[in-house]
């Protein structure tokens, strides 16, 4: 009896020690969750992206240019997920379609708002480089409805205003005069196409720039 009573306390001390070792072995240190920084969007907010469209725009998109061959020249012609805009990771995009009263010219407007660190000069320089690298290139462009057009890339007949790049797509059936405008944290691409060419893109680009400036400078 005496020997049993002496061993019992020893076993009682041993069990908690084993439990402590097992508990320590199974303990997992979990780091506190870290917040993922969200880039600031301003001075124009993502919610204002639709305000970049001109008042003439309908709520629907037209028969946009979808695929371009060769692919290296897609930025100068593609309107679906327009590379000149999507290539700079916009926070929000929108688009719309309108046409002249006689229906001779169709216009697509594609707009984008970017984080505050967007560099409009870089976006314009990249566009100029793409247009120049595809100058005189023959393109096969297919619309979302499956219609094909042959184009050749050409510089615009007009000089580009500040904050703007102008270029043309010339074809036997359909020709386009286009503009890309970028300022602050926004960009607007305008394509105007018709059987005998598009519209004068200089005033369209100037109006687009005014819309950007008005939103950027609006007092909240």
What is the Cα–Cα distance from 25 to 203, expressed in whole angstroms?
73
pLDDT in tens, 128-175: 999 999 999 999 999 999 999 999 999 998 889 999 999 999 999 999
Q: Provide the strand spans (E) within 48-163.
A: 65-69, 92-99, 105-113, 138-143, 148-155
pLDDT at site 34: 56
- Hey, how many other C-beta atoms are within 10 angstroms of the C-beta on 78? 21
Question: Does the domain made of 46-216 have the CATH classification 3.40.1050.10?
Answer: no
Q: What are phi and psi of 70, to 5 degrees?
A: -75, 155
> Residues 94, 95, 97, CA angle at the centre, nearest 5°?
165
pLDDT at site 5: 40
- Residue 111: pLDDT over 80: yes
- Helix, strand, or coil (residue 184): coil
Structure tokens at 105: 């010219």
Which among 122, 112, 127 has a CA at the least distance from the CA of 185? 112
- Helix, strand, or coil (residue 167): strand
Which among 143, 173, 140, 175 has a CA at the least distance from the CA of 62? 143
Structure tokens at 81: 């997920």
Question: How would residue 38 be classed by pLDDT, with cut points 50, 70 and 90?
Answer: low
What is the Cα–Cα distance from 76 to 145, expressed in whole angstroms?
19
- Residue 220: pLDDT over 90: no
Domain extents in the chain: 46-216
This prediction has a pTM of 0.82
């Amino acid at each position: 009896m005496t020997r049993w009573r002496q061993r019992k306390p020893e076993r009682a001390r041993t069990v908690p020690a084993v439990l402590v070792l097992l508990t320590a072995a199974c303990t997992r240190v979990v780091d506190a969750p870290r917040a993922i920084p969200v880039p600031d969007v301003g001075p124009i907010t993502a919610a204002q992206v639709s305000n970049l469209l001109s008042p003439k725009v309908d709520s629907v998109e037209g028969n946009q240019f979808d695929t371009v061959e060769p692919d290296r020249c897609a930025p100068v012609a593609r309107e679906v997920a327009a590379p000149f805009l999507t290539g700079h990771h916009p926070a929000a995009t929108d688009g719309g379609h309108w046409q002249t009263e006689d229906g001779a010219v169709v216009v697509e407007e594609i707009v984008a708002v970017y984080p505050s660190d967007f560099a409009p000069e870089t976006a314009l320089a990249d566009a100029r480089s793409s247009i120049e690298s595809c100058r005189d290139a023959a393109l096969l462009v297919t619309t979302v409805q499956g219609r094909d057009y042959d184009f050749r890339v050409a510089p615009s007949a007009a000089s580009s205003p500040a904050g703007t790049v102008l270029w043309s797509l010339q074809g036997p059936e359909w020709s386009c005069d286009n503009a890309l405008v970028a300022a602050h944290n926004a960009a607007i691409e305008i394509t105007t196409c018709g059987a005998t060419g598009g519209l004068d893109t200089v005033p369209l680009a100037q109006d687009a720039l005014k819309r950007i400036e008005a939103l950027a400078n609006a007092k909240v």
